[in-house]
């Protein structure tokens, strides 16, 4: 830290370091409004008034985002949604939304990450790639962490890499000696078979449709054909129930391998299954997650097993939590009737946009233009669009009003939730640029302005 | 040249995550996100090399991105594009009443092309700009 600037970042993952070191690049610090097709600078007060007008005039606005801001801001957002009778949705809708639907159907045996760090002796990452999406997850909570009852696999990994490089060297020497072309060493299939590992050591299994970087670290990598997770999960359930499989392979995985995996699962003392959006975004969606949770439930008849979604965005878990304690529902909440209504598929933002039902939108700390499919994006940018975001994102470029805000956790304090629902209060470490308020404050002002605009209308009804 | 039929996966990469933090208008973001990771056998079939441009078409649209050889895609017939505005041009908004569009495992066709990769600004103006000004 020097002169209100971050000079260097220590002990952070690549994503975090990139965030802290670059947060001030491509930064827009003045509010913008669209006039004659161009975004022009304006005052904060005017931008807030203009946003309030857009929202107060609309009959079915969409309020979307929330996962990259604090719980406090989300709370104000919900108040605003109720006031204007809009639909409020967070990024779960295109992330772990189906997981939530499955959890509502069959429940979720969970724990905190600390439990996993200290006790888990079998860690499965299913259709998630922590190496890329949660770079410190393995290091802090699972395979590479040193728990009270479980050792880190660092030593074993280093030995394996060492052995591999020696093997390559011998191969190269041999090929020179025999004047043959050096055999291209294919990626190792597995570093070890499950079951052949010493019992007391922590094991990691990665299940995915492509060989991700996470798979390289794992003891065992299981490649499933795209869209076949459901079949593989159900086959494992059958095996855990000691049923026989009468076919040779399921979803590209040989039956023997599945049997081994099922044995490893049953034999562990504390297993955990982390699943990623690979299950929720491919065919079957919530049914895939449903099958995964049922598998874990079945395993709990024989051993201790828990399951946890690998939640992505910064504070998406917090957004869900705040939505739930305020309205009773975790996402896709519709206030158009005056009371909260929840029906994903109907009141979820992508469906509303796809149908072209909404007539305005407020986007907070999110970039749907980059993340929604084309049809939904087209209807989002067609209508008046207000964006509150510290970044000048693709959505901001298409907006009618852009209000820059302070970064939560860097320039503003706030509460956020970790993926295991542990709340983490974040500190403010630098002063935001002049004129940039926290999201919470901006939303509060818009809400105030909306209430002022709607007041005469409300009194005329009486 | 006939295109190659493949299954399209989208997802997160560490470069996409970092590129995003550098800013969505940065060069890094385009370089890391407007790419299509392919198996080397598929690239041979299409007679293209690392860094060549390919056009990926689905029933919902088409987009030009840079082909990138990836040893992480071990079976031919699968391509991977990181999440971002480029991938979204060829994905559907239909959610089968779950709120969640299908983002992985979409049928697609890949072919070499001479077209250039659109910058984020151009992409926005070309695909969504008209509605805004009109």
CATH number, domain at B78? Answer: 2.40.40.20
Contacts of A22 in chain B (CB under 8 A): 21-23
Predicted TM-score (pTM) above 0.90:
no
Q: Which residue of A has its CA nearest to B70?
A: A211
Give me the residues of A, 163-192, that contact B with CB < 8 A.
187
- Give the model's pLDDT for residue A351: 93
The answer as to whether A17 is a domain residue is: no
Token pair for A117 = 């760090």
The answer as to whether A14 is a domain residue is: no
Q: Chain A within 8 Å of B24 (Cβ-Cβ)?
A: yes
The DSSP bridge partners found for residue A208 are A223
Do A345 and A271 belong to one domain?
A: no
* C-alpha to C-alpha distance for A319 and B68, rounded to whole angstroms: 36
- pLDDT tens sequence across B67-121: 988 877 777 888 888 888 888 888 877 777 776 777 777 888 998 988 888 888 8
Do A72 and A130 belong to one domain?
A: no
Q: Which residues contact A292 (CB under 8 A, 6 or more apart)?
A: A102, A126, A229, A233, A273, A275, A279, A307
The answer as to whether A117 is a domain residue is: yes
Q: Chain A within 8 Å of B22 (Cβ-Cβ)?
A: yes
The answer as to whether A202 is a domain residue is: yes
The answer as to whether A12 is a domain residue is: no
Nearest Cα to A282, choosing from B86, B51, B68, B96?
B96
Do A112 and A221 belong to one domain?
A: yes
- Measured in angstroms, the CA of A82 and the nearest CA of chain B are apart by 21
Nearest Cα to B84, choosing from B66, B72, B71, B98?
B66
- pLDDT tens sequence across A240-269: 999 988 888 999 899 999 999 999 999 999
Q: Chain B within 8 Å of A353 (Cβ-Cβ)?
A: yes
Domain extent for B63? 4-133
Do A200 and A302 belong to one domain?
A: yes
Q: Classify residue B76 by its DSSP letter.
A: T
The answer as to whether A19 is a domain residue is: no
Size of interface A-B (CB pairs under 8 A): 190
CA angle, A239 then A244 then A247, to 5°: 105
Do A81 and A199 belong to one domain?
A: no
Do A147 and A212 belong to one domain?
A: yes
* C-alpha to C-alpha distance for A15 and A300, rounded to whole angstroms: 35
Q: Chain B within 8 Å of A101 (Cβ-Cβ)?
A: yes
Ranges of H-type helices in A2-57:
14-22, 44-57
- Give the model's pLDDT for residue A178: 67
Facing residue for A227 by CB, picked from B73, B88, B105: B105
Do A209 and A196 belong to one domain?
A: yes
- Give the model's pLDDT for residue A89: 95
- Give the model's pLDDT for residue A56: 94
- What is the domain count for chain B? 1
Do A165 and A292 belong to one domain?
A: yes
Q: Which of A81-85, A199-203, A273-277 has the lowest mean pLDDT?
A: A199-203
- What is the domain count for chain A? 2
The answer as to whether A366 is a domain residue is: yes
- CATH number (domain holding residue A118): 3.40.228.10
Domain extent for A181? 100-309
How far apart, in Å, are the Cα atoms of A416 and each of A71, A316, A331, A434?
6, 8, 17, 24
- CATH number (domain holding residue A420): 3.40.50.740
Q: Of A277, A309, A341, at which residue does a domain stop?
A: A309
- Give the model's pLDDT for residue B75: 78
Q: Tell me the pLDDT of chain A averaged across its residues.
A: 86
Beta strand spans in A131-202 (E): none
Q: Which residue has the higher pLDDT, A235 or A9?
A: A235
- Measured in angstroms, the CA of A17 and the nearest CA of chain B are apart by 9
Contacts of A98 in chain B (CB under 8 A): 98-100
- Measured in angstroms, the CA of B102 and the nearest CA of chain A are apart by 5
Mean pLDDT over B49-56 rounds to 90
- Give the model's pLDDT for residue A401: 95
Give me the residues of B, 38-97, that contact A with CB < 8 A.
60-61, 71-75, 78, 80, 83-85, 88-97
Contacts of B84 in chain A (CB under 8 A): 370-371
- Give the model's pLDDT for residue A291: 94
The answer as to whether A275 is a domain residue is: yes
Nearest Cα to A435, choosing from A84, A76, A30?
A30
Asked if the Cβ–Cβ distance from B104 to A278 is below 8 Å, we say: yes
- pLDDT tens sequence across A369-406: 888 888 899 899 999 999 999 888 889 888 999 999 99
Q: Which residue of B has its CA nearest to A332?
A: B99
Asked if the Cβ–Cβ distance from A377 to B14 is below 8 Å, we say: no
């Amino acid at each position: 830290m020097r002169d209100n600037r971050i000079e260097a970042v220590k002990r952070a993952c690549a994503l975090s370091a990139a965030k802290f070191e670059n947060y001030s690049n491509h930064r827009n610090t003045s509010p913008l409004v669209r006039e004659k097709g161009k975004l022009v600078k304006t005052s904060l007060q005017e931008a807030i008034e203009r946003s309030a007008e857009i929202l107060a005039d609309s009959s079915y606005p969409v309020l979307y985002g929330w996962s990259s801001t604090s719980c406090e801001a989300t709370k104000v957002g919900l108040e605003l949604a109720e006031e204007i009778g809009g639909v409020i949705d967070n990024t779960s809708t295109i992330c772990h939304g189906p997981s939530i639907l499955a959890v509502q159907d069959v429940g979720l045996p969970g724990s905190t990450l600390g439990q996993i760090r200290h006790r888990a002796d079998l860690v499965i990452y299913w259709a998630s790639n922590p190496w890329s999406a949660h770079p410190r997850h393995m290091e802090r909570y699972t395979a590479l962490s040193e728990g009270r009852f479980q050792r880190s696999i660092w030593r074993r990994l280093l030995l394996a890499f060492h052995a591999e490089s020696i093997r390559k060297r011998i191969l190269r020497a041999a090929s020179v000696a025999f004047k043959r072309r050096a055999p291209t060493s294919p990626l190792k299939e597995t570093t070890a078979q499950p079951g052949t590992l010493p019992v007391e050591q922590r094991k990691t299994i990665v299940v995915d449709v492509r060989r991700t970087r996470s798979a390289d670290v794992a003891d065992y990598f299981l490649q499933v054909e795209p869209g076949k997770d459901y079949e593989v999960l159900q086959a494992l359930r059958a095996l855990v129930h000691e049923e026989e499989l009468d076919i040779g392979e399921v979803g590209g995985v040989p039956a023997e391998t599945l049997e081994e995996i099922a044995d490893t699962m049953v034999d562990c003392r504390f297993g955990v299954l982390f699943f990623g959006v690979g299950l929720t975004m491919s065919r079957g969606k919530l049914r895939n997650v449903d099958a995964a949770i049922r598998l874990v439930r079945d395993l709990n008849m024989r051993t201790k097993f828990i399951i946890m979604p690998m939640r992505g965005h910064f504070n998406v878990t917090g957004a869900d939590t705040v939505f739930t304690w305020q309205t009773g529902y975790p996402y896709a909440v519709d206030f158009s009737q005056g009371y909260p209504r929840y029906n994903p598929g109907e009141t979820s933002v992508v469906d509303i946009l796809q149908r072209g039902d909404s007539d305005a939108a407020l986007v907070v700390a999110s970039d749907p233009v980059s993340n929604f499919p084309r049809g939904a994006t087209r209807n989002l940018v067609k209508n008046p669009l207000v964006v509150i975001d510290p970044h000048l994102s693709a959505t901001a470029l298409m907006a009618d009003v852009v209000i820059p805000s302070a970064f939560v956790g860097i320039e503003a304090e706030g509460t956020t939730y970790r993926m295991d629902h542990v709340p983490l209060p974040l500190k403010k470490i630098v002063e935001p640029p002049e004129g940039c308020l926290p999201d919470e404050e901006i939303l509060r002002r818009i809400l105030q302005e909306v209430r002022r605009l709607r007041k005469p209308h409300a009194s005329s009804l009486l | 040249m006939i295109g190659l039929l493949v299954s399209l996966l989208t997802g997160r990469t560490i470069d996409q995550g970092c590129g995003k933090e550098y800013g969505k208008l940065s060069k890094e973001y385009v370089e890391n996100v407007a790419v299509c990771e392919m198996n080397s056998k598929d690239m041979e079939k299409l007679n293209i090399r690392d860094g060549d441009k390919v056009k990926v078409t689905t029933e919902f649209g088409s987009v030009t991105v840079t082909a990138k050889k990836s040893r992480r895609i071990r079976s031919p017939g699968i391509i991977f594009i990181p999440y971002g505005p480029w991938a979204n041009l060829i994905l559907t908004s239909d959610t089968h009443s779950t709120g969640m569009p299908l983002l992985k495992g979409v049928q697609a066709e890949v072919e070499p092309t001479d077209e250039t990769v659109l910058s984020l600004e151009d992409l926005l103006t070309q695909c969504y700009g008209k509605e805004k000004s009109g």
